Structure 1
Amino acid sequence: MAKLVFMGRLEDVAGAPEMAVKPGPVEQVLAALEPALAVELLGEKIRMALNGRLLTDVGGIVLAQGDELAFLPPVSGG
């Protein structure tokens, strides 16, 4: 299995901090999720990190067995 990790407010949307998914193309993995969650994860300000490395282009990413894809929402501070 591969793992999706949800940070910040995305954890609330997903209902859990992480989720095990079947490996495969990211587009296919996201298509299998609840539509409301998939829409949030594809937001223009959401960053993704594959196995700890920030992605600049998510096109063509294929999750392999044991991969971790983290979704990082923008943060605010004060």
Structure 2
Amino acid sequence: MPVRVLFLGQLADLAGTGEISVPAPLDWDGLLRSVPAAVAERLPAETVKLACAGQVLADKISLCAMDGDEVALLPPVSGG
């Protein structure tokens, strides 16, 4: 069962899609290789958060998504 990678907000615009499926297991390097280059360039930024299986990761490079997990790429939130 693959890992679902969800692109939210402006990251979906950059990706040109709301989600992709990639083979499990998925680590940080695999994620960077799997997403479009425009998204991969933004992922290391501190303002972009990463959630795996419903939990926001404190350390993105510790990503270890398994079969059926959902990885959400959370863009910076703007407010006013």
Shorter chain as denominator, the TM-score bin is: 0.7 to 0.9
CA apart distance, 1:32 = 3.4
Partners of 1:19 and 1:32 lie apart in 2 by 9
2:62 partner SS: coil
Q: CA deviation at 1:35?
A: 2.1
Structure 1 unaligned spans of 5+: none
Mark the CA change 1:32 to 1:65 in structure 2 (over 3 Å): closer, same or farther: same
Q: Cα RMSD between the aligned structures?
A: 1.5
1:2-59 per-residue CA deviation (whole Å, 9 max, x = no partner) reads 0111111111001111111112322123223332221122222101111111110123
Q: Percent identical across equivalent pairs? A: 36
Give the structure-2-normalised TM-score. Answer: 0.82
The number of equivalent residue pairs is 78
Q: Secondary structure at the match of 2:12?
A: helix
TM-score, normalised on structure 1? 0.84
Q: d(CA) in 2 for partners of 1:29 and 1:45?
A: 17
